[in-house]
């Protein structure tokens, strides 16, 4: 049965920013169904005693409100906000979904300009799957925007998408937060960030209690996080732990990027084009940066061994 949309559908170019419109025989219906399923999954993850009455909720990276539109009934009793970097999506939401939904155009990097501690629930669907340098600052910004004990639902990917993005089987031991397609534009799908459960627990777990991880829904893993009362910088959030997988993951990211660079060169070569010098240089810079961190770590480990040996010598 075809659902009659209560709110207008966004134009195709806005819908296609958030999902592959071409893959469906009825793209409008798919847009509605996937959004409705996403809402249901969010609601399923909330605590049993949760009620929306009087709450403030933020959809971070809302696009043109694919999920938010399904919260219109709850928006009668709660305040719903959507934030996105895309001006056209936010403008469309202002014209077509407000009221009941409030919208906010955010910048590339925080802060957001909304009040500290003002949200009870924030969710980010398919956003941290693409954030690279912005990932830690944005996670901490959402932490700032949540009230004490507030909830954050975030999707992340890797386990179910490794073959697609990295052309290799998933192996939890060589993935931390591994970034692929680092410089790909949002219009072309954006960067792909693979995250493993252990890495999320170790790093995001410093700012949030990991309440639940739902391993797979819509090809994502879903984390329900509760804000911890801590004050962290991005460096503190990202600093490698003692887990040996931290550096194994960085080393593997170097391999992944080198493979990606070769694939890009081949792809361009087949199209009788040459990979732009700038693009190749961006890859090489990223690889060099990872290698620098690994060298520093090896040097640090070497120095620690040398000083332990010196202490042992009579
Ligand atoms: C793959 S889409 C998902 C959209 C929406 N959550 C959904 O599930 O339909 C990712 C969205 O994140 C938005 N985004 C990227 N960087 C952002 C940022 N710094 N602040 C807010 N939104 C951002 C993009 O513009 C895009 O709309």
Q: Determine if ligand 1 sits within 6 Å of the CB of residue 112.
A: no
275: Cβ contacts below 8 Å, ≥ 6 apart: 264, 265, 268
Task: Answer yes or no: is the C-beta of 65 below 6 A from any ligand 1 atom.
Answer: no
Counting ligand 1 atoms within 8 A of each CB, the residue from 35, 37, 85 with the most, and so the one to mutate, is 85
pLDDT in tens, the chain (314 residues): 455 567 999 999 999 888 888 888 899 999 999 999 999 999 999 999 999 999 999 999 999 999 999 999 999 999 999 999 999 999 999 999 999 999 999 999 999 988 888 999 999 999 999 999 999 999 999 999 999 999 999 999 999 999 998 999 999 999 999 999 988 887 777 899 999 999 999 999 999 999 999 999 999 999 999 999 999 999 999 999 999 999 999 999 999 999 988 888 877 766 656 666 667 788 888 888 889 988 888 888 777 777 776 776 65
Residue 304 burial by Cβ neighbours in a 10 Å radius (0-12, 13-18, 19+): exposed
Residue 199 confidence (pLDDT): 98
Selection from 117, 84, 120 nearest residue 103 by Cα? 84
Q: How do 192-195 and 177-180 pair as beta strands? A: antiparallel
Cβ of 221 closer than 6 Å to ligand 1, yes or no, is no
Residue nearest to atom 21 of ligand 1 (CA): 84
User: Taking the domains of the chain in order of start, what are their residue ranges?
Assistant: 12-238, 245-312
Nearest Cα neighbor of 70 from 6, 148, 13, 24 is: 6
Instruction: In whole angstroms, give the CA distance from residue 107 to residue 137.
Output: 12
What number of CA atoms fall less than 13 Å from residue 4's CA on the CB side?
A: 1
Q: Is the CB of 85 under 6 A from ligand 1?
A: yes
Q: Which residues contact 17 (CB under 8 A, 6 or more apart)?
A: 63, 64, 86, 89, 186, 187
Q: Let me know: does 69 contact 97? Beta carbons within 8 Å.
A: yes
Q: How far is the CA of 17 from the centre of ligand 1 (A)?
A: 9
Superfamily of domain 12-238: Vaccinia Virus protein VP39 (3.40.50.150)
Name, in order, each residue with C-beta under 8 angstroms of 159's C-beta and a sequence gap of 6 or more. 170, 172, 196, 197, 215, 216, 221
Kindly state if the Cβ of 66 falls inside 6 Å of ligand 1. Answer: yes
Pairing mode, strands 220-227 and 146-156: antiparallel
Contact 62 CB / ligand 1 (< 6 Å): yes
Q: Which three-class secondary structure state does DSSP give residue 51?
A: coil
With a 6 A CB cut-off, is 17 part of the ligand 1 pocket? yes
Query: Which pLDDT score is estimated for 224?
Result: 98
67 Cβ inside 6 Å of ligand 1: yes
Q: Which atom of ligand 1 lies at the shortest distance from residue 131's CA?
A: 16
Q: For residue 155, what is the enclosing H or E element?
A: strand 146-156
| Distance between Cα 272 and ligand 1 center (Å) | 34
- For residue 138, which atom of ligand 1 is closest to its CA? 19
CA of 202 to the centre of ligand 1 (A): 25
Q: Are 248 and 174 in contact (CB under 8 A)?
A: yes
Q: Is the CB of 82 under 6 A from ligand 1?
A: no
Which of 17, 32, 84, 97 maximizes ligand 1 atoms within 8 Å of its Cβ, making it the mutation to test the pocket? 84
DSSP state of 108: S
Among 224, 214, 164, 217, which Cα is nearest to 194's?
Answer: 164
Structure tokens at 61: 């990276």
């Amino acid at each position: 049965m075809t659902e009659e949309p209560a709110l207008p559908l966004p134009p195709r170019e806005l819908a296609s920013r958030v999902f592959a419109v071409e893959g469906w025989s009825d793209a409008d219906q798919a847009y509605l169904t996937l959004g409705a399923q996403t809402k249901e999954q969010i609601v399923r993850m909330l605590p049993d005693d949760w009620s929306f009455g009087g709450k403030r909720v933020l959809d971070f990276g809302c696009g043109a409100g694919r999920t938010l539109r399904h919260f219109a009934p709850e928006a009668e009793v709660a305040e719903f906000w959507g934030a996105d970097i895309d001006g056209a999506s936010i403008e469309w939401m202002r014209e077509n979904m407000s009221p009941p939904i409030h919208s906010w155009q955010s910048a590339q990097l925080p802060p957001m300009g909304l009040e500290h501690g003002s949200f009870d629930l924030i969710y980010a669907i398919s956003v941290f799957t693409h954030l690279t340098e912005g990932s830690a600052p944005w996670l901490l910004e959402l932490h700032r925007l949540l009230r004490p004990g507030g909830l954050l639902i975030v999707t992340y990917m890797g386990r179910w998408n490794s073959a697609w993005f990295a052309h290799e089987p998933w192996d939890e031991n060589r993935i931390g937060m591994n970034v692929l397609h680092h410089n790909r534009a949002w219009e072309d799908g954006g960067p792909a960030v693979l995250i493993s459960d252990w890495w999320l627990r170790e790093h995001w777990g410093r700012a949030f209690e990991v309440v639940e991880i739902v391993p797979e829904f819509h090809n994502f893993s879903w984390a329900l996080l509760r804000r911890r009362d801590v004050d962290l910088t991005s460096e503190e959030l990202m600093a490698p732990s003692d887990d040996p997988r931290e550096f194994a993951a960085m080393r593997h990211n170097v391999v992944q990027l080198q493979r990606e660079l070769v694939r890009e060169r081949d792809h361009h070569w087949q199209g009788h084009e040459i990979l732009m010098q700038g693009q190749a240089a961006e890859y090489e810079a990223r690889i060099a940066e990872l290698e620098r961190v690994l060298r520093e770590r090896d040097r640090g480990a070497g120095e620690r061994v040398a000083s332990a040996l010196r202490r042992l010598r009579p």
